């Protein structure tokens, strides 16, 4: 099972408590740990988290800088835990706009966790699905129309990672109901779930409820419901 999460609501969570926005992001990092630890027990083999979109560069420079420091801090504090728990980390998205020290931290964490087989964790940083399409198209140097398989392969290469199954369930926290340029190709037939729960409050119980809701739905992939087909 592949679950994708748009981790939204950190800033609003902090504002509601009279705290700086970065405190919401720091508390949100604790939610990441809870979700990563709970995922395997819920049958989740692949987990993709939307941490920083390419459009997030337009936020105030001070907040962006704080987020970049938070990413480095997360890698430093969580890599050993991921190795211990069999979690393989891969970061998707652009890397050329990240500071060299963060790129090095990403590469070190990816190398250290490469043997993980319990959970495939993908962290989307400086990620845009539309930009990924453009990079994938640039890799396709042929006049022949590509197949879906070939596009999928090119997208994986453009995102610096091996191919993973299409998304089964996409969850967005924070109450907003949009995809925000996240995994548009991979979510073609994903079940979508939008929850008002702010990301810092999201944990194992909320993830379990989302997975339970997913299993109650009937996925038809363009076909007829089972009753009608019979």
Which pLDDT does position 68 carry in this prediction? 96
Which pLDDT does position 147 carry in this prediction? 82
Which pLDDT does position 220 carry in this prediction? 74
Domain boundaries, the chain: 2-229
Which pLDDT does position 88 carry in this prediction? 97
CA 230 to chain centre: 37
**Cα-trace Rg, the chain:** 18
Residue from 8, 120, 126, 168 carrying the catalytic annotation: 8
Exposed/middle/buried for residue 187 (C-beta within 10 Å: 0-12, 13-18, 19+): buried
Instruction: Let me know the angle formed at the C-alpha of 27 by 58 and 79, rounded to the nearest 5 degrees.
Output: 90
201 is catalytic: no
Sign of CA dihedral 149, 152, 156, 157: positive
Which pLDDT does position 144 carry in this prediction? 72
CATH homologous superfamily for the domain 2-229: Decaprenyl diphosphate synthase-like (3.40.1180.10)
Which pLDDT does position 210 carry in this prediction? 98
Which residue stretches of the chain have pLDDT < 70?
141-143, 159-163, 221-230
Residue from 10, 56, 96, 181 carrying the catalytic annotation: 56
CA 66 to chain centre: 20
String of DSSP letters for 17-62: TT--HHHHHHHHHHHHHHHHHHTGGGT--EEEEEEEEGGGGGS-HH
85 is catalytic: no
């Amino acid at each position: 099972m592949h679950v994708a999460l748009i981790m939204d609501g950190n800033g609003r969570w902090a504002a509601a408590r009279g705290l700086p926005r970065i405190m919401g992001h720091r508390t949100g990092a604790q939610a990441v740990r809870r979700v990563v630890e709970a995922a395997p027990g819920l049958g989740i083999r692949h987990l993709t988290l939307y941490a920083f979109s390419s459009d997030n560069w337009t936020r105030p420079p001070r907040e962006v800088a704080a987020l970049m420091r938070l990413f480095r801090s997360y890698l430093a504090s969580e890599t050993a835990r991921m190795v211990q728990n069999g979690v393989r980390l891969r970061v998707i998205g652009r890397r050329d706009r990240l500071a060299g020290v963060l790129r090095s931290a990403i590469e070190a964490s990816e190398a250290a966790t490469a043997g993980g087989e319990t959970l495939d964790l993908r962290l989307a940083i400086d990620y845009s699905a539309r930009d990924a399409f453009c990079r994938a198209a640039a890799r396709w140097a042929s006049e022949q129309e590509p197949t879906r398989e070939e596009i999928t392969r090119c997208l994986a290469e453009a995102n610096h990672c091996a191919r993973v199954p299409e998304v089964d369930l996409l969850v967005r926290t924070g109450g907003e109901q949009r995809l925000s340029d996240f995994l548009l190709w991979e979510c073609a037939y994903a079940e979508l779930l939008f929850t008002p729960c702010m990301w810092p409050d999201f944990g194992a119980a909320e993830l379990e409820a989302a997975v339970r809701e997913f299993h109650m739905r009937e996925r038809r992939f363009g076909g007829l419901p089972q009753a009608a087909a019979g």
